[in-house]
Structure 1
Amino acid sequence: MKFTDLFIKRPVLAMVVSFVILIAGLQAMKTLNVRQYPRSDVAAITVTTIYIGADAELVRGFITTPIERAMAAADGIDYIQSQSTQGQSLVTARLKLNYDANKALSDISARVNAIRNNLPPESQIPVIAIQAADSQFASAYLSFTSNILEPNEVTDYLVRLVQPRLTAIAGVQKADILGGRTFAMRIWMKPDRMAALNISPSQVRDILAKNNFLAAVGNTKGSLLQVSLTANTDLHTAEQFKQLVVRQDKNTLIRLGDIADVVLGAEDYNTEVRFSGQKAVFMGIWVLPNANSLDVIKRARVELDQIRKELPTGMTAEMAYDATAYINDAIHEVVKTLIDTLLIVMVVIFLFLGSFRSVIVPVVAIPISLIGALFLMQVFGFTLNLLTLLAIVLSVGLVVDDAIVVVENVERHIADGMSRMNAALVGARELIGPIIAMTITLAAVYTPIALQGGLTGALFREFALTLAGAVFISGVVALVLSPMMSAYLLPPHHVEHGFKGWVDRTFDRFRDWYGKRLDRTLQARPAVYVVWAGISLLAGLMFLAIPKVATKELAPKEDQGVIFGIITAPANATIDDTIRYADAAGKVFHDIPDTRFTFQITSPSSGFGGMVLKPWGTRKVPTKNYLPVVQQKLAAIPAIQMFPIMPEALPGSDNFPVSFIIASTADQERILEFAKEIFQKAMKAHMFQFGDIDTKIDQPQAQILLDHDKISAMGLNMQQIGSDLSASVGGNYVNWFNMEGLSYKVIPQIKRVDRLNPEQLNDIYVTGPNNQLIPLSTIAHIQQKTVARSLNRMQQLNA
């Protein structure tokens, strides 16, 4: 007795096995993580260090290089890149494929912390984070605008009331604020007033550090009671900072308010965000890797509706961008295709079998096999994404084959005069070997795709194994359920009439016709060989011609309804100047007929902006058709460079199809010359629409050249002079103050009107002989030069 007999004679057992497969698949359907594409195993560890006031050369030498050397010894690193800019160091370690990012994070964190004392004390603590290949952008962005509140007030409201509510949503990794202006106590020093009273900038910093002090006093402990103690050693309001005593001259008190304007301002005024032309603050919602992004953003939308009801007067909130909208529509299209496929397969099966009762067997096998494949996806840790759904769609035609073979074989035995039960027993026994062989063969065809390495293997592993898993489940169903259903559902043999009889007679005539043609073909074998050789040659020529007539790319461009670009303005452009260029670019996006929203984030000499188009169902023009129109209009904006692009379809791919990195021990200028030669030859080939070199030596820089001999003769030291200059212009914070339960920075700096150009620095006063202030021009002069905007490195080589 074969094992198939057990399921035929005991139909309840066959049904139980099928229901187990069905229930396992249904519970997996509810728990599977829904994503646009499979999780990428390519990640990076970023180390960001802020050193306010430092130039790129200083940042590279004293921050970037030590961090690079420490990170290079960590395990699992493929290569290291770094970028040193004005006031910031960014070191990125790209990990090897499939390497544990958390393990790499722990290793790199330990190594960076070990050299923390070697970094300049004025630099901030390095921020170390994991950057996944498919998490370059948040799953959703919210826009908050107000025609009453200032940006720092909007930011504070978001930090206190909105951000905690969004981060508390199940599945949200973080809700960060983009382009916000955090409150800070700004001490705008007056150089002339300070010079008249002989108070140096470094003295102001010292006074702030010593008199805005957070003291943890402790508590008293008696025999029966203990009382906690506090002391008002810190300051809380602008008025308290104004009343801070800087110096006492005889009976006169010189307060901070006498030499500076003290206001509750913002940490940074170098960023401005706009949403459809109006000043705004953005929030990005990032979803946990193992969370269902569709459900998470759906819950975020519900929470946003509740938040809207509680917003202050004049403030509005919008869902500026929702990546899950595209994912949702794409998944719905795939599900629709799946339903259409099932209907077409059912019709085709009916046309060939000619009996509704015969159709039931393979039709029941299809959903059980597909739903059962979801359980295997859960076991393997896969996600429900476009590629796995594509695998399920493609598997419809494969999973139905085994059931059709069973039905056809049982019907053949019924036609030979057997009873349905005996026909099912004999037919199933005959097909055990063939069905197992078919299942293994089909699964073996797709499984090697899962063994590929690199990005292709990471993306298509789930596709291949899902397809193989569906085929495997269909083989189980064909041996367990299909024979039992055939024994009880197939009609007994009799002379067929009607539609089924017509189908059988038609196929009999076709079989006779084909048999005769096949006999004649076999008698003319040389002609068959000639035709075979001709088809093979034609196929080979077509294969060789594909690269010349078809575009090669990792994935076709998808219409995600978004166009964006990076704005590159002149290196010496201020935030005010760059905003003018960004507004012009924003108008270009706004004038597109199908534009729904526009957005821009602007900073000095650079920016980022784009547009979100109307939903796909309400527009007829695809996004890619707008690209050349937008590019032509952006190219007409003077003084800036902005190339519009669409988001990449697959995670981990670059926004540019071809990228070169030139690394050498040579200096930046020599590398740039060589890069320009390559760039010019590439553009002369007329194969590229756009090109760019990330290294640009066009950043104006004023170097303060100090007269060391004169400084030494005056009995001064560089530390004091450097401290005065840093306190005057640098803009670094001294300490923190408390305001309604949150801490904010205290930042002394001279007013912007006193540092509009490098020549004004000559009028800055620094500590001179006998602690008397002297103009900087007494001991130094200004020299202008041009430097690179950023100093890039690759594998610890200049690049």
Structure 2
Amino acid sequence: MFSRFFIDRPLFAAVISTFIVLAGLASMRSLPIAQYPEIAPPVVTVQAIYPGASAQTLEQTVAAPLENAINGVPNMIYMSSNSASNGIVQIQVTFEIGTNVDIAAVNVNNRVKQVEPRLPEEVRRQGVTVERGSSSFLQVLAFYSPDGRYNDLFISNYVTLNVLDQLKRLPGTTNVQIFGAHDYAMRVWLKPDRLAQLKLSPADVIGALNEQNAQFAAGKVGQSPIDQKQELVYTITTRGRLSDPKQFEQIIVRANPDGSIVRLADVAHVELGSKDYEFIGRVNGKPSTLVGIFLSPGANALDVAKSVKEHMSELSKRFPEGLTYSIPYDTTLFVEVSIREVLKTLGLAMVLVFLVVYLFLQSWRAAFIPFAAVPVSLIGSFAGIYMLGYSINTLTLFAMVLAIGIVVDDAIIVLENVERIMREEGLAPRDAAIKAMREVTGPIIAIVLTLTAVFVPIAFLGGLTGELYRQFAVTIAISVIISGLVALTLSPALSALLLRPHEAPNKYFAAFNRWFVAVTHRYSDGVVWMLRRGVIGVVLFLVMVALTIGLWRFTPGSLVPDEDQGWFFTTVILPDGATLERTDKVVAEVEKAIHSNSANAYVIAFTGFDFLGGGFRNNAASIFVTQTHWDERKVTTPQLVGEVFGKTAGIKEALVLAFNPPPIFGLGTAGGFEFYIQNRGDGGAKRLSEVTQAFLARANKDPQLGFTQTLWRATVPQLYVDVDREKAKTLGNYYVNDFNKYGRAWQVLMSAEQGYRQRPDDIGSVYVRSTKGEMIPLSSLATVRYSSGADSLDRFNNLPAVKIFGQGAPGISSGQAIARV
């Protein structure tokens, strides 16, 4: 008999259980910790830049060719893209769950390289980047100057030069980026009127910059092969790239026949400025440089967050006086609280199991034997979790909570049978254990196989549901298998060592036993009554089955329930064409309204960034609002979301929306639902807008939908000029070349000064050279007229599309809302 070996050798049984516990404890140290299993599909991001291009130009000349090439890459599920009027197009390629994201990035990059020669020259000069995306948003760091001595330009570049690289090298981070980074750029602000007076065009300035701000390989003197008398070799050096605004001002644009010289300073203002001025970051109203940290798949969120905090603590010691940082957004706080609550439940369940076992067995020695199986089974499960590549998360811990009541059953069967034999047959503990195991070894194995057969099939479910609950089911199965092994080895050995002949119970247990016997008799009488009336039993069974089916059909469904994650986000949308400065003023009002409730700890504003639609837009802003600790507030995050709607209803200049975060990051950008309406026919953006507005009008009348909205508009104010855009380079940013400073390469950008690009008729102030060498104003060659069009264009699966988002009405689950849509 298998168990006889361990009854005769109890130390060996103890060693096996100790080994299982040690293996579990060792695995716990290496297991990643997360809120949920890694179920978000891997994403690869492709980004291209076309300075000065409209959304329509980007979609037709960049997005469409790239998507045509990428479409069909192995394991791709779908792809989406956004082409914005700021000249940036982003393509998100989503792959099947389980796909190696590094291999996927290589495959996408190969497709991009095939089509890259067909892209516009400006796009090729800027470069097309392909990198793996990350849906695991870990933290947001805010860098700011409390006394205001440093501006955004200095802080952003200080972080780039001294902090960003350090954080990127931390294990567990997949991406560390500055939102709206104000990277240094040599800004050449042209004066079109001076250019016209001196009979120069922007092309002349570009040629001078390319010629005189260049790196030369001048070679060597005395380099082999040479005469044998040559004894020295000289490397020739010359001034290469310029690095200072004063050096750029001295660039010769034209040398006149009379000996006079026109320098860059005569026709332009040169300064070391920012590459981009289209973003404003704030934390609690203070201008800040915002850095996002993303977690790599499989990394331990708590360890990475701790590592970031430790490194920032060290780096901050080298900060110049007047510069500091904070961590206003940290997703690990919710992970810690979630795991803490599950561990509380786990501990409470273990205590209750012990008390119940003790109450019925009425002996500390007897209660210890089945209870010993609990820590061995649960801790040993971590070794199985580690071998399968799973993580410690709320689902695996919840599985252990549920398994406590299951793993103790096998040991109770062993113990109860040993005690029964000792009481009825008067055998010694060792002999009783041997006889008991002859009787229950088969049933214990059958119980383990039956329970395993119940949970293991869940591991083979497909889709997101399968990925989400696979770890839950497998964790229970592992703990059940280990409990069966313990019941066959440790439990009979302990029974033989610890049990004593049965003694009379004390008065308390005696009273409980009398009550329990009475309840048992009544139950037995009820069973006998029901057996004599079998038809009633069958009818009750059928009623319960029908009731179960009915509840299954009518109970609201969703992937996971919404929770109070300790933060929510708000989006602010102004009328089409609004400037960034105008948007920032409204954001300040929204910040004030949100901060009026002390339960909101941090208000992090991303002015110029559209979190819902994706990309940067002057008339949009996204605000992350984090709350105080759960123990320190009485209101929930959903209640605060509703409060934001009420407090911002009086802001007439903008649409202010507030959302709960998605239950699982990477599955949507907000709680609720989002989807695309595709245009599979003709009609362009105008027809797409008509269909979208018709759908929204009908959806917003539906009582099951809370609201349905899109941030896309097809009527943004624009100017149409019937002329080659290359002849109006001064109105946008034109990338000329690069310069070196602080050990890095930065861009040289050329555009018109602020006063020459404020009104539509400023386009006419640009002059071009005719074939006769005469300077002709652009207004005499082209007609400028007002028009309207889309500020950004989305595509989904290689077709023009519009993103729609919304949520169900109160009391309506996300599953019901999606079905209704």
Q: Same fold, TM exceeding 0.5?
A: yes
* 1:602 paired to 2:607: yes
Equivalent pair of 2:594/2:603 in contact (CA under 8 Å): yes
Structure 1 pair 264–777 and aligned structure 2 pair: CA distance change class (3 A):
same
- 1:611 matched to 2:625? The reply is yes
Structure 1 unpaired stretches of 5+? 707-717
User: Does the 8 Å CA contact 2:728/2:763 hold for their aligned counterparts?
Assistant: no
- Counterpart pick for 1:776 among 750, 762, 778: 778
CA distance in 1, matches of 2:481, 2:563: 32
Which deviates more from structure 2 when the two are superposed, residues 529-538 or residues 781-790? 529-538
CA distance in 2 between counterparts of 1:571 and 1:18 reads: 68
How many angstroms apart in 2 are the aligned matches of 1:397 and 1:224?
Answer: 89
* Aligned with residue 521 of structure 1, among 516, 524, 530: 530
- Give the counterpart letter for 2:417 in structure 1: N
Residues 478-627 of structure 1 aligned to structure 2 (within 5 Å): 478-544=487-553, 546-547=554-555, 551-603=556-608, 604-627=618-641
Structure 2 unpaired stretches of 5+:
225-229, 609-617, 802-821
Instruction: Please show how residues 723-738 of structure 1 align to structure 2 within 5 Å.
Output: 723-726=726-729, 728-738=730-740
Contact preservation (8 Å) 1:665, 1:797: no
Q: Match of 2:751?
A: 749
Equivalent residues of 1:140, 1:286 under 8 A apart? no
d(CA) in 1 for partners of 2:270, 2:349: 70
Once the two structures are TM-superposed, the CA of residue 224 in structure 1 deviates from its matched residue by 7.3
Deviations 1:340-359 (A, max 9, x none): 11111111110011100001
Q: CA deviation at 1:402?
A: 0.6
2-side partners of 1:584 and 1:464: how far apart? 49
Aligned-pair distance for 1:154?
0.6
Say whether residues 1:315 and 2:323 are aligned partners.
yes
Distance 2:422 2:132 in 1: 64
Shift in Å, 1:538: 4.6
- Counterpart in 2 of 1:113? 113
Please tell me whether residue 388 in structure 1 is matched to residue 396 in structure 2. yes
Q: How far apart, in 2, do the equivalents of 1:176 and 1:68 lie?
A: 25
Give the Å deviation of 1:152. 1.1
Residue matched to 1:16:
15
Q: CA deviation at 1:791?
A: 2.3
Q: Displacement, 1:617?
A: 1.1
Shift of 1:143: 3.7
- Deviation of 1:307 after TM superposition, in Å, equals 2.8
Measured in 1, the distance between the counterparts of 2:674 and 2:474 equals 31
8 Å CA contact retained: 2:70, 2:108:
yes
* Residues 762 and 781, structure 1, Cα contact 8 Å, conserved in 2: no
Q: Deviations over 1:317-347 (max 9, x none)?
A: 1111111011111111111111111111111
CA deviation profile, 1:714-745 (whole Å, cap 9, x unmatched)? xxxx6xxx54412x122022111111212211
Do residues 246 (structure 1) and 253 (structure 2) align? yes
1:420 lines up with 2:429 in the alignment = yes
Does 100-109 or 402-411 show the bigger shift?
A: 100-109
Q: TM-score, normalised by structure 2?
A: 0.91
Of 604-613 and 353-362, more deviation after overlay is shown by: 604-613
Partner of 1:75: 74
Say if 2:153 and 2:182, in contact at 8 Å, map to a contact too. Answer: yes
Structure 2 partner of 1:712:
none
> Aligned letter for 1:766?
V
| Paired amino acid for 2:432 | A
Which residue does the alignment assign to 1:697? 714
State the distance in 1 between where 2:139 and 2:432 align: 56
- Which residues of 2 match residues 387-466 of structure 1 at below 5 A? 387-415=395-423, 416-466=425-475
Stretch of structure 1 that moved more, 515-524 or 665-674 = 515-524
Mapped partners of 1:344, 1:225: distance in 2: 89
Q: CA deviation at 1:701?
A: 1.6
Taking a change above 3 Å as real, the CA distance of residues 348 and 140 of structure 1, as seen in their structure-2 partners, is farther
- Label 1:795 to 1:163 Cα distance change in 2 as closer, same or farther (>3 A): closer
Describe the SS at the equivalent of 2:21.
helix
Change (3 A) 1:520 1:665: closer
1:789 equivalent in alignment to 2:791: yes
CA RMSD of aligned residues (A): 2.1
Q: Residue 175 and residue 145 in structure 1: after superposition, are their counterparts in 2 closer, same or farther (change >3 A)?
A: farther
Tell me if structure 1 keeps the 8 A contact 2:342–2:394: yes
Q: Which amino acid aligns with 1:293?
A: A
- CA deviations over 1:367-392 (Å, ceiling 9, x no partner): 00000110000011000011111111
Whether the 8 Å contact between 1:151 and 1:180 is mirrored in structure 2 is no
Does the CA-based 8 Å contact 1:140-1:284 persist in structure 2? yes
User: What SS is found at the alignment partner of 1:269?
Assistant: coil
CA distance in structure 2 between the aligned counterparts of 1:157 and 1:429, rounded to whole angstroms? 75
Query: Secondary structure of the residue that 1:771 maps to in structure 2?
Result: coil
- How has the CA–CA distance of structure 1 residues 769 and 519 changed in structure 2, closer, same or farther, with 3 Å as cutoff? closer
Distance 1:538-1:455 versus aligned 2 partners, 3 A rule: closer
Q: Are residue 649 (structure 1) and residue 663 (structure 2) matched? A: yes
Q: Compared with structure 1, are the counterparts of its residues 171 and 671 closer, same or farther at alpha carbon in structure 2 (3 Å cutoff)?
A: closer
Q: Give the match for residue 679 of structure 2.
A: 663
Change (3 A) 1:690 1:143: farther
Amino acid at match of 1:759: D
| Inter-partner Cα distance in structure 2 for 1:23 and 1:55 | 62
Deviation at 1:108, TM superposition (A): 1.2
Residues 226-245 of structure 1 deviation map (CA, whole Å, 9 limit, x = unaligned): 66553212211011111111
* Contact 2:40/2:666 (8 A) holds in 1: no
TM-score normalised per structure 1: 0.93
Say whether residues 1:235 and 2:242 are aligned partners: yes
Tell me whether 353-362 or 167-176 shows the greater mean CA deviation.
167-176
